[in-house]
Amino acid sequence: MQRASRLKRELSLLATEPPPGITCWQNQNQLDELRAQIIGGADTPYEKGIFNLEIVVPERYPFEPPKIRFLTPIYHPNIDSAGRICLDVLKLPPKGAWRPSLNISTLLTSIQLLMAEPNPDDPLMADISSEYKYNKQLFLLNAREWTEKHAGQ
C-alpha cells in the first residue's frame, strides 16, 4: 500500500512539475510499469533527441530502486546496447547509492545529467568509453549520428 500511494504522489508531481526535458507516465494503468522521455540536453551530442525509457517499480519500492532502461538506442559509455544504465543511484548499497529518500524524478534527472556528462571510468561499453577518453571528436560524431538515427522526431 505504501508503494502505491507514494507512486501516485510521485506521478502527480511529475505531471504537474516535471524536471526540464523530462516526462513520465504510467504504462497502460499499470502502477509498477512507467514510461519516461528524456529530451537530449543543449550542447550535448544528444541535443533535441527524444529518448524513451522503461521504468519497472519493484514490489519493495522505495526500499529497492526502480529498474530503468533506455528503449531508444543511445551511443554512450555508461549505457549498453540493451539499454541498461550504469549509475550508482540505480543500485542498492554497498555498491550503489540508492536511498529510499530518492524518487523517480531524481533518478531521471540523474540519468539526464549522466547523458550530458558520461563517466568513462565506470563504463558498460569499454570501446565507447575509450573513444570518449582518447578520440572525443569521433565519439561526439558517433553519438550525434545515433541520436539523429534513433531519437530524431
DSSP characters over 36-62: EEEEPPTTSTTTT-EEEEEEE--TTTT
> Is residue 94 within 8 Å of 120, Cβ to Cβ?
no
- What was the pLDDT predicted at 109? 98
- What was the pLDDT predicted at 153? 76
Give me the residue spans of the domains in the chain: 1-151
Among candidate residues 38, 53, 55, 86, the one labeled active-site is 86
Q: Specify which residues 34 forms β-bridges with.
A: 26, 55
- What was the pLDDT predicted at 2? 82
Ranges of residues in the chain with a pLDDT under 70 are 1
| CA dihedral angle for residue 143, residue 77, residue 72, residue 117, rounded to 10 degrees | -70
Task: Identify the sign of the CA torsion 20, 116, 83, 7.
Answer: negative
- What was the pLDDT predicted at 55? 97
Please indicate whether residue 24 is annotated as part of the active site: no
- What was the pLDDT predicted at 43? 96
Q: Which three cell numbers stand for residue 86?
A: 550504469
- What was the pLDDT predicted at 29? 80
- What was the pLDDT predicted at 30? 83
The yes/no answer on whether domain 1-151 falls in CATH 3.40.50.2300 is no
CA distances from 40 to 32, 83, 102, 117, 141 (A): 25, 16, 22, 12, 15
Q: What is the pLDDT of residues 60-78, one digit of tens each?
A: 999 999 999 999 999 999 9
